[in-house]
Amino acid sequence: SVSKARGVGSRPPEKGTRVGRVLFPAIRWDPGQGFAPAARSIDVALELGMGGFILFGGPAAAVLELTGDLRSRSAVPLLIGADLERGAGQQFAGAVSLPPAAAFGAIGDLSATRRAGELTGREARALGIDWVYAPVADLDAEPANPIVGTRAYGADPAAVSAHVAAWIDGCRSAGALACVKHFPGHGRTVTDSHLGLPVVEVPRPVLEADLRPFRSALEHGVDAVMTAHVAYPALDPGGGPATLSPAIVTGLLRGELGFHGLVVTDALVMAGVLGSQADEAQAAVTALAAGCDGILYPADPRRVAVALESARARLGGRIAEAARRVKDAARRVASPRPGEWGRAEDRDWARDVAARTLRVVRG
C-alpha cells in the first residue's frame, strides 16, 4: 500500500491558484514492489496540490486501491488519467485488452468502435480512472512513421474522422473524459518524438487533411486535446514543437477551430519538447504561455512548480485560466462510477473483433 502523508487530505486549499493544479506526474507500477516506490513522490505531489496523476501498469485491483487512496488524501478533486488506446487492459492486468485502432479501421464498423470507447471508459471508471488519453486522430499517412502506425484508424481523413467521433461518443457515454491526440497530427512524421523533434515539411493545404479528424473530435464534444511535440513550419515558421507554439495552440486550436476545453501537453519527458528548451521547467512555462492547460508527466514536479510560480507575473492570467479548466474537468467526473472489469462477455467480444480483422492474403 502507499504511505499516507500526514494531514494532506484534511488541509484546506490555499487561497489563490496553486500552480500544482496544472501538473500531472506519473505513477508507475513496479513488478517487485508495486506502487510502494512511488510513495514519497506521491506525498510531494499531494502537498503541491497536483491536478492529478497518470498511471502506468499494475493489477486492476491494486489500481483501484491506489486511486481511492489518492482521492481520499487530496485537498482538491483529482483527474486521474491513463494511456488506454487499446482498452484498459493495455495498462492494467485483469481488464480487457482491445485490438489497436487500425484493426477497427480495417473492419470499418463504427458500432464496434463506439463499443470500444464505451468499454474502455467503463472499465477505466471502474478502476477510478476518469481521463483516457485516446483516441488517436493522427492519419497513417507515412509508411516510415516510427510511432503512429497501427495506433491510427487509417489514412483516409473521412474514415478516421468517423471512427474518432464514434470512439469519443462511446467513451463519454461511459462517463469518462476523452483526450484526442496528437494535435495537429503526428501521422506524417519520420522521427519518434520521444527521441527527437520531428518536422513536418508540408504546406497548409496538405495539413487540412490531418486536421479533419480533430475537427470531428471537437464537433463531438471531446473533453481534451493533447498537443504533438512536432514542428510544422507551415503553421508556425518559428520551428518549435506545437506544444510550445502560441500560433498553433492559441491561434489555430483555440482561435480558428474554436476549442475552449482542456489542452494538455504530451509527456514532458520526451526529447521532442525538451530539445528546444533549457530543461523541463522552462518547457512547462513555455507550454503554458502558448495556451496549454495541463502539463503531463513532469519528471520533477516540484521544480516545475517553482518555475511556474516564478513566472506567474509574466504569464498573466494563464495559470488561473488553466487551473480553472482542470478544475472544471475534474468536477464533471467527480462522482464515482463503481463497476466491473474483465467481464467474460467483453473479453469474448474483443476476441471476436480481433478475429474479424484477420485477412487471408495468400493460400
Residues that are catalytic: 266
Which is nearest to 8 in space by CA: 96, 73, 87?
Answer: 73
CA distance 100 to 152: 8
In angstroms, the CA 163 to CA 213 distance is: 9
In sequence order, what are the beta bridge partners of 283? none
What would the DSSP string read from start to end of 224-268? EEEEPS-B-TTT-TT--BGGG-HIIIIIIIIIIS---SEEE-S-T
The C-alpha cell at 107 is 473492419
- Residues 189, 197: Cα–Cα separation, whole Å: 10
Cα–Cα distance measured from residue 69 to residue 90, given in angstroms and rounded to the nearest whole number: 22
User: Residues 232, 242: contact at Cβ < 8 Å?
Assistant: yes
> CA-CA distance, 101 to 121, in Å (whole number)?
15
Mention every residue, 6+ apart, whose C-beta is less than 8 A from residue 259: 218, 225, 253
Give 303: exposed, middle or buried? Use CB within 10 Å, 0-12, 13-18, 19+: middle
In angstroms and rounded to an integer, the radius of gyration of the C-alpha atoms of the chain is 20
